[in-house]
Structure 1
Amino acid sequence: MSGQQQIRAWGRRVPEFVNFLVQNTHPGVIRLDGDTASGRAYMSEVGRGCDGRSGVNSPSTTTATSAPRAPGSSPNASTRSGTSTRAP
């Protein structure tokens, strides 16, 4: 899944298969280096599907780096991010 359209379409379908989903985000560190900032947050999830199954996702790490953006560009134009899953 990539792009805003696909992410929005998936988000609209979530209530069809998820009874509830709780995401816990624990802030990490933000590092500043001149005009550039980078940070990391730790997230875990617990939820239950409409079919009664439930589970806990392993903690994952989300990182983002932001640099100055060009005038007139979108607010997210200079942000890179990624997610990796780590074993508990």
Structure 2
Amino acid sequence: MAVRVLFLGPLQDCEGAAAREFDAPLDWQALLAKVQPSTAEQLREDRVQIAARGRVLADKTALLAQDGDEVALLPPVSGG
């Protein structure tokens, strides 16, 4: 199996896809290595968060997704 990664908002534009699958296990460093360089640059921003298994991670660098997990990359929310 694999880890399904969802790219939301402008991260989808950076990656060129709404979702991709990567081999498990998937940690922070592997995620940065597998996505497009422009996506990795955005992910390093403090305002971008990561949710794994339906929960936002307090420390995104602690990501450790396993087979069948879904990871959502959450860009900053803006609005008025």
TM-score > 0.5, shorter chain as reference: no
Q: TM-score, normalised to structure 2's length?
A: 0.27
Please state which structure has a larger fraction of its residues in helix.
Answer: 2
* Structure number having the greater strand percentage: 1
